[in-house]
A and B are shown apart, each in its own frame.
Chain A
Amino acid sequence: MDKIKQFVTDFGWPRIIIFLFLLFLFIAAPFVGVRIDASISDVFNRFGQNALFVLAMVPMIQSGCGLNFGLSIGIIAGLIGSTLSVQFGLTGLMGFFGAVALAIPFAVIFGWFYGLLLNKVKGEEMTIAMYVGFAGVMFMCIMWLILPYTNSTMVWGYAGKGLRTTISVEGYYRQVLNDFWAIRIGTDFIFPTGMLLFVVFCAFLMWLFLRTKTGTAMTAVGSNPDFARASGISADRMRTVSVIISTVLGAVGIVVFQQSYGFIQLYTAPLAMPFAAVAAILIGGASVNKATMVNVLVGAFLFQGLLTMTPSVINSALKTDISEVIRIIVSNGIIIYALTRKTKVTK
Chain B
Amino acid sequence: MAQQGPLLSVEHVSKEFYGNIVLHDVCFDLKAGEILGLVGENGAGKTTLMRILFGMPVIAQTGGYKGRVCIDGNEVNFSNPFDALDAGIGMVHQEFSLIPGFTTTENIVLNRESMKPTFLNEVFGDRMSVLDRPDMKKRAESAIAKLGVRLDSDMLISEMPVGHKQFTEIAREINREKTRILVLDEPTAVLTETEAEVLLVALRNLAKQGIAIIFISHRLHEVIQVADRIVVLRDGLAVKDTAVAGVSVRDIASWMVGRSIAAERLDAGEKREFGPEILSVEHLWVDMPGETVRDINFAVKKGEIFGFGGLAGQGKLGIPNGIMGLFPAGGAVKLHGKPVELDEPRKALEMGMAFVSEDRRGVGLLLDESLEWNIAFTAMQIHGQYLKPVLGKLLKIRDEAGMRKLTLEYIGILDIKCTSPSQKAKELSGGNQQKICLAKAFALKPDLLFVSEPTRGIDVGAKKLVLDTLHKYNREYGMTIVMVSSELEELRSICDRIAIVDEGRIAGILAPTADIAEFGLLMSGEKTEAVQGANRG
Which residue numbers of A lie inside 8 Å of B, CB to CB?
A: 208, 211-213, 216-217, 219-220, 223-224, 226-227, 229-233, 289-290, 345-347
Contact = CB atoms under 8 A, between A and B. Distances in A.
B381 A223 contact: no
16 contacts: A208-B390, A208-B395, A216-B373, A216-B381, A219-B369, A220-B366, A226-B362, A227-B366, A230-B326, A230-B357, A231-B349, A231-B378, A231-B382, A232-B345, A232-B350, A347-B362
Contacts of B366: 220, 223-224, 227
Nearest to A224: B366
Nearest to B384: A213
B346 A346 contact: no
Instruction: Please list the 3 inter-chain residue pairs (A to B) with the smallest Cβ-Cβ separation, ordered nearest first.
Output: A232-B346, A211-B397, A231-B378
B396 A212 contact: yes
Contacts of B355: 230
Nearest to B357: A230
B349 A347 contact: no
A230 B381 contact: no
A211 B396 CA distance: 8
B329 to A, nearest CB: 14
Contacts of A208: 390-391, 395, 397
Given A231-B345, A232-B350, A345 B368 contact: yes
Interface string B347-368: 1111000010101011111111
A230 B361 CA distance: 13
B350 A223 contact: no
B54 interface: no
B324 A230 contact: yes
Contact of B387 (A213, A219, A220): A213
A229 B345 contact: yes
B265 interface: no
B156 interface: no
Interface residues of B, number: 35
Given A346-B367, A346-B368, A347-B361, A232 B381 contact: yes
B442 interface: no
B346 A223 contact: no
A231 B381 CA distance: 7
Interface in B380-422: 380-382, 384, 387, 390-391, 395-398
B345 A213 contact: no
Given A208-B390, A224-B365, 5 more contacts: A219-B369, A227-B363, A227-B364, A230-B363, A347-B367
B363 A226 contact: yes
B426 interface: yes
Contacts of A223: 366-369
Contact of A216 (B350, B363, B377, B426): B377
A211 B398 CA distance: 5
A231 B355 CA distance: 9
Contacts of B359: 226
A107 B367 CA distance: 34
A212 B387 CA distance: 8
Contacts of B345: 229-232
B365 A220 contact: no
A213 B347 CA distance: 18
B176 to A, nearest CB: 40
A213 B367 contact: no
Given A230-B345, A346-B426, A212 B369 contact: no
A230 B440 CA distance: 12
A111 to B, nearest CB: 21
Nearest to B426: A346
Contacts of A226: 359, 362-363
Given A213-B387, A217-B381, A232-B349, A227 B365 contact: yes
Contacts of A347: 361-362, 367
Nearest to A212: B397
A227 B355 CA distance: 11
A341 B349 CA distance: 39
A162 B326 CA distance: 53
A212 B391 CA distance: 12
Nearest to A232: B346
A232 B395 CA distance: 22
A213 B396 contact: yes
A213 B380 contact: yes
Interface string B28-41: 00000000000000
Contacts of B349: 231-232
A208 B348 CA distance: 30
A347 B365 CA distance: 10
A100 B382 CA distance: 35
B390 A216 contact: no
Contact of B368 (A211, A230, A289): A289
A224 B426 CA distance: 12
A226 B324 CA distance: 13
B76 to A, nearest CB: 39
A219 B397 CA distance: 14
Contacts of B378: 231-232
